């Protein structure tokens, strides 16, 4: 799953994934990764492609060269889109449906029912938004998580961990 993907209308043909995506000034801004396909199992593209942002691709490539693996950051929450009332305004965010015991979120004091509205300086618009912001960060990074709880915004300090990968 690619979060915060760049959506493009440039042609991306099968076998072209991994090629550079350029902006109008010739700068590389992404690495092509996938296309939106026709419905019903038909083969072909609907003219939409997706690319991984170059900063994320660069970080992953550097990690692979240096360590041979990629350590994805992990917060430890189960999420849904949500809203919260704070200071008389409705704010969109990520509703915490569950917190993994012993996770960074648990240790920071994030609770079920909290609505996460920011991670560091990045606003959180929903569950996918928070997932994307966590993915942009590195394991071991210290961040401020702003949650709305009982109508009040609260800043919690969290240290993102390495997401454990389960082998089957």
pLDDT digits over 68-116, tens only? 888 788 999 999 999 999 988 999 999 999 999 999 999 999 999 999 9
Total domains in the fold of the chain: 2
Mean pLDDT across 115-124? 96
CATH number of the domain where residue 11 is located: 2.40.10.10
Q: Structure tokens of 168?
A: 């089957």
Task: Using a pLDDT cut of 90, give the percent of the chain over it.
Answer: 51
Looking at 43, 67, 91, which one is the last position of a domain?
67
Burial class (CB in 10 A: 0-12, 13-18, 19+), 95: buried
89 domain residue, yes or no: yes
Residue 163 pLDDT more than 90? Answer: no
Average pLDDT, the chain: 87
Same domain, 95 and 158: yes
Residue 148 pLDDT more than 70? Answer: yes
Same domain, 115 and 152: yes
21 domain residue, yes or no: yes
31 domain residue, yes or no: yes
168 domain residue, yes or no: no
Cα-flanking dihedrals φ and ψ of residue 5, to 5°? -70, 155
27 domain residue, yes or no: yes
Question: Which of 11-15, 47-51, 127-131 is predicted with the least confidence, judged by mean pLDDT?
Answer: 11-15
Predicted TM-score of the model (pTM): 0.72
1 domain residue, yes or no: no
For residue 122, the enclosing domain spans 73-162
**The pLDDT of residue 78:** 96
35 domain residue, yes or no: yes
Burial class (CB in 10 A: 0-12, 13-18, 19+), 149: middle
Place of tokens 């076998």: 15
- Return the C-alpha torsion angle 89, 92, 96, 97, nearest 10: 110
pLDDT in tens, 35-46: 776 666 666 566
Mean pLDDT across 18-30? 90
Task: Using a pLDDT cut of 70, give the percent of the chain over it.
Answer: 89
**The pLDDT of residue 164:** 66
């Amino acid at each position: 799953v690619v979060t915060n993907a760049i959506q493009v209308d440039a042609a991306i043909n099968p076998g072209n994934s991994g090629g550079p995506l350029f902006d109008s000034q010739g700068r590389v801004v992404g690495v092509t990764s996938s296309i939106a396909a026709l419905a019903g199992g038909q083969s072909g593209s609907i003219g939409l492609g997706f690319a991984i942002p170059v900063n994320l691709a660069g970080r992953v490539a550097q990690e692979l060269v240096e360590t041979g693996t990629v350590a994805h950051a992990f917060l430890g929450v189960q999420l849904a889109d949500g809203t919260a009332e704070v200071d008389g305004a409705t704010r969109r965010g990520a509703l915490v449906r569950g917190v993994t015991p012993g996770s960074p979120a648990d240790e920071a004091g994030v609770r079920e029912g909290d609505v996460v509205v920011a991670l560091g300086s990045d606003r959180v618009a929903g569950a996918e938004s928070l997932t994307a912001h966590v993915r942009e960060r590195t394991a071991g990074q210290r961040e401020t998580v702003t949650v709305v709880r009982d109508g009040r915004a609260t800043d919690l300090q969290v240290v993102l961990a390495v997401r454990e990968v389960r082998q089957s």
